[in-house]
Structure 1
Amino acid sequence: MVHFVGAGPGAPDLITLRGAERLKKADVVIYAGSLVNPVLLGLCSAQCRIFNSAEMTLEQVLSTMEQAEREQKQTVRLHTGDPCLYGAIQEQMDALKKRGIPYTLTPGVSSFCGAAAAVEGEYTLPGISQTVIITRMAGRTPVPERENIASLAEHGATMVIFLSASLLDGLQEALLQGAYTQQTPAALVYKATWPEEKVVRCPLGELAQAGRDHGISKTALVLVGDFLSGDYTRSRLYAPDFSTEFRRASE
């Protein structure tokens, strides 16, 4: 059996209980070495064989899984954050299906959740934004043209941008072609939840320069939107004059 496990955003105590148990019982672990906190490998047994997928191709990863399956071993494929976001797990699952190898999925805490905690913010504020766009800038890996940053920025919604800290000049330019302005609040969150976490807030018009000033060019999320401004409308759900299934409005 192969278990795909979300490692969480970085802090070792943010892996799920299920994910931690999978690691403790694993015979083989293939982990995303460029992003997963290696402290988590301390949960593995002394007999566990550990492979760093940052140094492997997909074919090598699959070959390792197949060998473990022939030996009737339990394999954990440990991905950063939640593997459903930029985890490249679909191609692995499809290959395992073709090979008749069973697998499970254990979700994890995504770094976009860790970034919200880092800025002490709520992405979906009443009267500000009820939509979160999670995306990335086109680079060596392309994105569909219909999903280019400028088009998505036209919504003016909360945006969380992955894998783009090395492209801040182009990202800033593209974002400003949408509904945002030079003064729209933005933040760079470097290594959310790690001990070296860093948060840099700035107006969108200064985003690229802020990255240069603080030496942030990788392993960071870009947050954009008025949710960072501190202005919002009080939630109706908890308003005294708002009735719900569980509470009657006061007169």
Structure 2
Amino acid sequence: MIHFVGAGPGDPELITLKGRSLLEQADIVIYAGSLVSKAHLDYCKQSCERYDSAGMTLEEVMEVAIRGDREGKSVVRLHTGDPTIYGAIREQMDFLKQNRVEYTVVPGVSSFTASCAAIKREFTVPDVSQTVIITRLEGRTPVPELESLEKLASHRASMAIFLSVGDIERVVEKLAEGYGSRDVPVAVVYKATWSEQKIISGTLEDIAQKVRDAKIDRFAQILVGYFIEGEYGRSLLYHPEFTHGYRQGTE
């Protein structure tokens, strides 16, 4: 059996209990070495085969995984964060289907939620935003035209932007066009939950220079929106006058 496991954003304690258990039982682990904390490998048994996929192709990864499955071994494909977000797992799963290999997917803590936790904020707050947009700037990997940053920013929803801090100036220009303002709160979180985590706060007006001054050009989340700073409404869920299935509100 092949198990796709989300390792979480960095802190090895943020893997799920199920993910940790599968690691402890694994005979083969193929891990994303450029992104996953090596501390996770400390929980593998001594006999476990370890493969760093940073320098491997899809075909090479699948060859190791399928060989292990056919030998009756438990194989863990360890991805950073949550494997369902920018994890490139669809092509791996399709490859396994074509070869009639069974697999499971174990979710993990994504860097976008870890980053929001790091700045001690909530993406969805009343009267501000009830929507979170997870996206990226187009680069060598294209983005559909309808999903361009400026079009998404025009919704003024909370945004979490992956894989884009290396081109922060272009990110800012597109966001400013969409928002129609540069007075929009931004937080850039470098390596959320790692020991070297850094948080850079500002607005679309000044964030690019702050990020350059901090020499951050990768491994960072860009969080954008008025959920970061500004007024918001009180939640009805705990409002004394609000009635729901578990509590009668006061008049």
Same fold by TM (over 0.5)?
yes
CA distance in 2 between counterparts of 1:108 and 1:142 reads 26
**Partners of 2:77 and 2:65 in 1: how far apart?**
9
1:172 and 1:5 map into 2 onto residues whose CA distance is 33
- Supply the distance in 1 between the matched residues of 2:250 and 2:226 (Cα, whole angstroms): 32
Give 3-state SS (helix, strand or coil) of 1:112's partner.
helix
C-alpha distance in 2 between matches for 1:63 and 1:148 = 36
How do residues 191-230 of structure 1 correspond to structure 2 at under 5 angstroms? Answer: 191-230=191-230
Matches within 5 A, 1:1-251: 1-251=1-251
Partner amino acid, structure 2, of 1:242: F
Deviation at 1:70, TM superposition (A): 2.3
Structure 1 alignment gaps of length 5 or more: none
Q: Deviations over 1:170-216 (max 9, x none)?
A: 10000011125211100100000111111110011112111101111
With over 3 angstroms needed to count, the CA separation of the structure-2 counterparts of 1:141 and 1:11, relative to structure 1, is: same
The DSSP-based 3-state class of the residue aligned with 1:178 is: helix
User: Which residue identity does 2:60 align to in structure 1?
Assistant: Q
TM-score, normalisation: structure 1: 0.98
Q: Write the letter of the residue equivalent to 1:14.
A: L
Listed one character per residue, the Cα deviations across residues 152-181 of structure 1 (whole Å, up to 9, x for unaligned) are 111011000000010101100000111252
CA offset at residue 31 of structure 1? 0.4
Provide the C-alpha distance between the structure 2 equivalents of 1:150 and 1:203, rounded to a whole number of angstroms. Answer: 16
Greater CA deviation, 11-20 or 228-237?
A: 228-237
Distance 2:72 2:238 in 1: 53
SS at match of 1:129: coil
Cα distance, 1:230 vs structure 2: 4.0
- Post-superposition shift, 1:67? 1.4
Q: What are the ranges of 5 or more consecutive residues in structure 2 without an aligned counterpart?
A: none
- Can you list the C-alpha shifts for 1:129-157, whole angstroms capped at 9, x where unaligned? 00100000001111111111111111011
- Pair 62,147 (structure 1): closer, same or farther in 2 beyond 3 Å: same
Moved more, 171-180 or 156-165: 171-180
Q: In structure 2, what is the Cα distance between the partners aligned to 1:166 and 1:203?
A: 17
Runs of 4+ in 1 over 6 A off after TM superposition: none
Contact 1:156 1:180 in 2 (8 A): no
Q: Secondary structure of the equivalent of 1:189?
A: strand
Instruction: Return the offset for 1:113.
Output: 1.0
Identity %: 51
One-letter amino acid of the structure 2 residue matched with residue 160 of structure 1: A
Q: TM-score normalized by structure 2?
A: 0.98
Q: Distance in 2 between matches of 1:137 and 1:38?
A: 28
